[in-house]
């Protein structure tokens, strides 16, 4: 229990693990049989995510197969004051899944049924473990799609819990805009619906939006009702290279300010392009690049594309290249989604410290440039990818985990970037969430009174602090 | 204090008014001077809204001119356990402003400064008392507009508090999607920001969305940061008449299902058209009508319009008529916004009981038709207007307030309609809020556990129950 502490977690108050009482473990085994496991390999698999933190694993893993399973685990855990950490696809980036106070990892990945699709209403209700690719494969034949795309094939429950967004958010919004309602299990084991299937409602407090982004700290998301969209009649993607990141970002700003309904507008810096060229065997020009996509009727896509091409030209964009076939588009977007892994392979054995600031779009160019100046001065290798249409970008610092000085440098650079984003009226996290690591940033951004309100809500809805304790705030 | 009770409020538990202690009144007078008044006329003006309920007025009215004024009133009220009811433009429909437990009406209408406009980021921050027309007049010269349009010239603070939407929501969303952040005053007199100016954020609980739609029960909204949009290059409006409401609604359903980015799609039934013809001296065909608007580039508007005209023709839409000049469009939309007042004039001395259900769009035609069958059988005069693109419609029952049987009939019809909407997975209120009158409906819709969660949040954030007590839940 007293494993050495991950030095990256120096910001986070040290929490004592709470023991899993034998009585509770026996009750779990009785109900769940082999679906409750304390095998070390399984616990370790459930005790890490895509974050770089080392924390001892949970004490047991339980696989839920129904809402009632979830409610039963919570009722038991609440009675025994044992932490419960919901686990979906394991793709979170901020240590959301880590058992900092021990307890149970509640795996909902077997809750992977698509419960209802209403094509005529453009809605679907899915169990929390359904992934976005699974949903899209299912609804494509009905001419529909679900646009939220955080890169990883995350579960819808996890995406709701972190308020995920990704490449399509500039046009379609984030999970905040696209979740109509949830069924959540409360810490005392009740199941409650938070919304209807109506497109809008003014019926009381917006419980849906309270759970969306709550990172598993208020309850467990059992199912998710989302908005769907008709597959666009026409889709067209394009890449365009620029002499500088500044020119690429200024192009983006102009596109947004003119109200072009662009569906995706992604920035890759030269490092990221180089990495994906190598990983995906592409021959993209190794310069700052915008990767864009347009959705609409044939005529509207053509019109948007012409307008964007004109804007890009004004900013000396070159090598404007179209990908109109589905295969070409898929190759490009696959490369974009591989950027993170591709970059890791540029420095064998490295780990990546990823930032996630989001600023008002007028501040984006200055914000990125200052961050580049700082990282260049530090000598750390890095890459940038960004959902720049939203003012959101990720800088990945590639560090050698064995060299504490590199970790410290990455932390310092990240903190500088976040301070700047907050000064510019932006946020420390556009889409990854707070988790373990950004708790100090949240305090700096929202202020003590706002974080105190969040804590008050947490205490009221989870008085025994069993739901993913130690996340968002200490 | 023991005025006879409005019989329309029989659903609502009777609450004892709490007295305003002399010490508090004196403290208010000392700080606010003439801005604190107990004059009966002023109190009566602040003791009613557009709802049909008769409740005794608040005991005093205080005019706030700054965030600090608001915080000061709340700190005092909290110390003395005195209710505070925020008051903006007085346009709410569900009794939100009524002083059911006495207390102070806190009028923020003098907080009417536009604090900051960032055209390059498409954001504006305004004090809570700024109205939507005021904001739009100010930003029009910069080529921008704020789309949320609930009809009345409501204040932005009030619109946020009721999660308002209106005619443009089908394309631009509601206040939920368009508020980036708020400054709120908490019941203990702290001022806190709930969001940044970033387009998206995953930084902790979504306090913004918790206050949006909280109907003044959790705190006072001091200022509102909203998203703005570039004025579309081209705008075109059209009316089209149909042989039946069913045909008009089926046209709407097809438009939405095909993903046409229509900006407004409003239904008026023959009664509503007749009323606005008379009130606005128009000559619209007195049949079910869709009033639509398209935003975009010239080419895109033309394309949308052609597609919609084709869909309408398939449903035997006739008299398709375009309004492309701003003057013609303004006349049409003014008429739409006068529908409520125009209908009231069809039955002199009447009051209107208005419904606000919103259902999944596939259920809209059946939902409206069943409601028509019921009201026709009752013999009450009525009219229908609807934001049908969202599945939201309002039926107005015109009753003689002196005839209790008419009130009872309207109540029965309304309850039937709400039960049906809930059965169809819709909501009792798409945009007006719960207020006083829909508390039973909220319970039926959300269930006891969800309402209990709302109450738990309320108790945690407003432990002395001073913020607009008796609203949303008893």
Residue of B nearest to A254 (CA): B120
Q: Could you give the dihedral angle defined by the CA atoms of residues B144, B150, B155 and B159, in that order, rounded to the nearest 10 degrees?
A: -100
State the alpha helices, DSSP H only, in B131-258: 132-140, 156-162, 169-172, 175-178, 207-211, 245-257
- Check A425 against B258: CB less than 8 A apart: no
Contact A378, A416 (CB under 8 A): no
Rounded-to-integer distance, Cα A20 and Cα A43, Å: 14
Coil, helix or strand at residue B249:
helix
Residue A97: per-residue pLDDT: 95
User: Looking at the DSSP assignment, which residues form a beta bridge with residue B86?
Assistant: B106
Domain with CATH 3.40.462.10 in chain B: 234-423
What is the rounded CA–CA span in Å between residue A177 and residue A46?
A: 29
**Superfamily of structural domain B234-423:** FAD-linked oxidases, C-terminal domain (3.40.462.10)
Residues from chain B that touch A300, judged by Cβ atoms under 8 A, are: 296-297, 299-300, 303
Q: Which of B252, B243, B108 is nearest to B183 (CA)?
A: B108
Strand, coil or helix: B399:
strand
Burial label, A281 (beta-carbon count in 10 A; 0-12, 13-18, 19+): exposed
The Cα–Cα gap between B305 and B240 comes to 12
CA–CA distance, B295 with A49 (Å, rounded to integer): 44
What does residue B73 show for φ and ψ, rounded to 5 degrees? -60, -45
Contact A122 B256 (CB under 8 A): yes
Question: CB of B93 within 8 A of CB of B51?
Answer: yes
Q: Residue A461: its chain B contacts at CB < 8 A?
A: 453, 456-457
- Which distant-in-sequence residues (6+ apart) come within 8 Å of A349 by Cβ? A400, A401
- Under 8 Å between Cβ of B267 and B274: no
* Contact in structure between B199 and A391 (CB atoms under 8 Å): yes
Q: What is the mean pLDDT of each run of 10 residues along chain B (474 residues)?
A: 52 71 97 98 92 88 98 98 97 93 97 97 98 98 96 96 96 97 98 96 98 98 98 95 96 93 97 96 95 95 95 92 89 92 94 95 96 98 97 97 94 97 98 95 97 98 97 92
DSSP-assigned beta bridge partners for residue B236: B294
Q: Are strands A60-63 and A36-37 parallel, antiparallel or unpaired?
A: antiparallel
Closest to B248 in 3D by CA, of B342, B368, B331, B151: B368
Structure tokens given for B118 = 């960032």
Three-state DSSP at B330 gives helix
Q: How many CB pairs under 8 A join A and B?
A: 281
Q: Where are the beta strands (DSSP E) in B269-424?
A: 289-296, 318-323, 351-354, 382-387, 392-399
User: Which position has the token pair 């050495």?
Assistant: A4
pLDDT score, position A474: 80
State phi, psi for B330 to the nearest 5 degrees: -60, -40
What would the pLDDT profile of A235-263 be if each residue is shown by its tens digit?
A: 999 999 999 999 999 999 999 999 999 99
Angle (CA) A438-A444-A448 rounded to 5° is 110
Of B198, B356, B427, the CB nearest to A196: B427
**Record: contact B449-A362, CB cut-off 8 A:** no
Q: CA distances (Å), A84 to each of A47, A100, A105, A233, A470, in order? A: 12, 11, 6, 44, 11
Instruction: Say if the Cβ atoms of B361 and A120 lie within 8 Å.
Output: yes
Structure tokens, A337: 């989604």
Nearest by CB: A200 against B165, B191, B203? B165
* Nearest residue in chain A measured CA to CA from B390: A199
- Are the beta carbons of A259 and B229 separated by less than 8 Å? yes
Place A5 in a pLDDT band, splitting at 50, 70 and 90: low
Residues of B whose CB is below 8 A from A123: 360
Q: What whole-number distance in Å separates Cα of residue B428 and Cα of residue B474?
A: 17
Q: Where does chain A hold its CATH 3.30.465.10 domain(s)?
A: 114-230
Residues 6+ apart with CB under 8 A from B86: B106, B108, B128, B157, B158, B161, B216, B220, B221, B468
**Mean pLDDT lowest among A6-20, A31-45, A150-164, B91-105:** A6-20
Is beta strand A84-87 parallel, antiparallel or unpaired with respect to A104-107?
A: parallel
3-state secondary structure of A178: helix
First vs last C-alpha separation in chain B: 19
CB B195 within 8 A of CB A442: no
Nearest CA in chain B to A215: B204
pLDDT mean across residues, chain A: 94
- The angle that helices B298-314 and A298-314 make with each other, rounded to 10 degrees, is 170
Residue A63: closest CA among A88, A26, A100, A80: A88
Q: Chain A: residue nearest B454 by CA?
A: A205
B interface test, pick of A196, A205, A474 with most B CB neighbours within 10 Å: A205
| CATH fold of the domain at A114-230 | 3.30.465
Residue A1's pLDDT band (cuts 50, 70, 90) = very low
Q: What is the pLDDT of residue A3?
A: 45
* Strand (E) or helix (H) holding A126: strand A123-127
Contact A154, A91 (CB under 8 A): yes
**What DSSP designation does B237 have?**
E
CA distance A278 to chain B (A): 32
Query: CB within 8 A of A448, min separation 6: which ones?
Result: none
The b-or-e profile of A327-365 (16+ CB within 10 A means b, else e) is eebebbbebbbbbbebbbebeeebbbbbbbbbbbbbbbb
CA distances from A134 to A91, A220, A414, B313 (A): 15, 21, 34, 38
Q: Is residue A385 classed as helix, strand or coil in its secondary structure?
A: strand
Does residue A336 register a pLDDT over 80? yes
> Quick one: which of B49, B152, B158, B178 has its CA closest to B111?
B158
Q: Smallest CA–CA separation between B356 and chain A, in Å?
A: 10
Element (H, E) at A375: helix A364-378
Q: What is the pLDDT of residue B12?
A: 60
Comparing CA positions, the residue from A351, A363, A352 lying closest to residue A421 is A363
Q: Which of A186, A427, A454 sits opposite B205 (nearest CB)?
A: A454
| Count of beta carbons in the 10 Å neighbourhood of residue B324 | 13
Whether the CB-CB separation of B212 and B196 falls below 8 Å is answered with: no
How many residues in total does chain B contain? 474
- pLDDT of residue A80 exceeding 50, the answer is yes
pLDDT of residue A53: 78
E strands in A242-378: 264-268, 289-296, 318-323, 351-354
DSSP reduced 3-state for B27: helix
Going by DSSP bridges, is the β-strand pair B60-63/A392-399 parallel, antiparallel, or unpaired? unpaired
Which residue on chain B is closest to A361 by alpha carbon?
B121
| Whether the Cβ atoms of residue B212 and residue B160 lie closer than 8 Å to each other | yes
Q: Distance (Å, rounded) from C-alpha A296 to C-alpha B301? A: 13
d(CA B91, CA B132): 12
Task: Using an 8 Å CB-CB cutoff, list chain B residues near A360.
Answer: 118, 121, 123, 197-199
H or E element that contains A184:
strand A179-185
Decide: helix, strand or coil at residue A17.
coil
Please determine, for the modelled complex, whether the ipTM score is greater than 0.90. Answer: yes
* Whether B308 contacts B292, CB under 8 Å: yes
Residues on chain B touching A447 (C-beta within 8 angstroms): 192-193
Residues of chain A in contact with residue B117, where contact means CB-CB under 8 angstroms, are none
Among chain A residues, the shortest Cα distance to B184 is held by: A450
User: What's the sign of the alpha-carbon dihedral A447, A450, A453, A455?
Assistant: negative
* A432: its two tokens: 């990854």
pLDDT for A437 = 87
Phi, then psi, of B241 in degrees rounded to 5 = -100, 155
Tell me which chain B residue has its CA closest to the CA of residue A301.
B300
pLDDT at A160 over 80: yes
Residues of A in contact with B253 (CB under 8 A): 120
């Amino acid at each position: 229990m007293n494993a050495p502490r991950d030095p990256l977690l120096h910001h986070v108050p040290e929490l004592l693990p709470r023991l899993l009482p034998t009585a509770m473990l026996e009750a779990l085994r009785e109900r769940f049989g082999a679906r409750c496991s304390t095998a070390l390999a399984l616990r370790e698999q459930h005790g890490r995510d895509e974050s770089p933190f080392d924390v001892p694993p949970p004490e047991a893993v339980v696989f839920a197969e129904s809402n009632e399973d979830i409610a039963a685990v919570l009722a038991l855990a609440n009675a025994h004051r044992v932490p419960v950490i919901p686990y979906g696809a394991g793709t979170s980036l901020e240590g959301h899944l880590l058992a900092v106070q021990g307890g149970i990892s509640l795996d909902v990945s077997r809750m992977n049924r698509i419960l209802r699709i209403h094509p005529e209403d453009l809605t679907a209700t899915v169990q929390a473990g359904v992934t976005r690719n699974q949903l899209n494969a299912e609804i494509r034949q009905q001419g529909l799609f679900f646009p939220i795309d955080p890169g990883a094939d995350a579960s819808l429950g996890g995406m709701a819990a972190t308020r995920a967004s990704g490449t399509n958010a500039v046009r379609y919004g984030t999970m905040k805009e696209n979740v109509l309602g949830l069924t959540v299990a409360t810490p005392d084991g009740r199941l409650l619906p938070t919304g209807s299937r109506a497109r809008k409602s003014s019926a009381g407090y917006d419980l849906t939006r309270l759970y969306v982004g709550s990172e598993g700290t208020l309850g467990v998301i059992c199912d998710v009702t989302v908005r769907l969209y008709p597959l666009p009649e026409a889709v067209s993607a394009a890449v365009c290279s620029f002499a500088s990141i500044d020119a690429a970002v200024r192009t983006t700003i102009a596109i947004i300010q003119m109200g072009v309904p662009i569906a995706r507008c992604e920035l890759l810096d030269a490092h990221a392009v180089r990495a994906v060229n190598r990983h995906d065997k592409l021959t993209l020009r190794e310069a700052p690049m915008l990767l864009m996509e347009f959705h609409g009727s044939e005529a509207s896509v053509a019109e948007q594309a012409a307008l964007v091409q004109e804007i890009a030209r004004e900013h000396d964009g070159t090598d404007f290249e179209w990908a109109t076939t589905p295969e070409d588009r898929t190759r490009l977007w696959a490369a974009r989604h591989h950027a993170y892994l591709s970059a890791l392979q540029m420095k064998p054995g490295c780990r990546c410290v990823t930032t996630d600031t989001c600023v008002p779009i007028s501040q984006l160019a200055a914000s990125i440039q200052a961050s580049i100046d700082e990282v260049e001065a530090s000598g750390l290798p890095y890459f940038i990818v960004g959902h720049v249409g939203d003012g959101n970008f990720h800088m990945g610092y590639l560090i050698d985990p064995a060299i504490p000085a590199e970790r410290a440098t990455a932390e310092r650079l990240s903190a500088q970037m976040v301070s700047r984003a907050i000064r510019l009226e932006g946020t420390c996290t556009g889409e990854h969430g707070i988790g373990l690591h950004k708790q100090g940033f949240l305090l700096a951004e929202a202020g003590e009174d706002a974080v105190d309100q969040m804590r008050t809500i947490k205490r009221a809805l989870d008085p025994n602090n069993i739901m993913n304790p130690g996340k968002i705030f200490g």
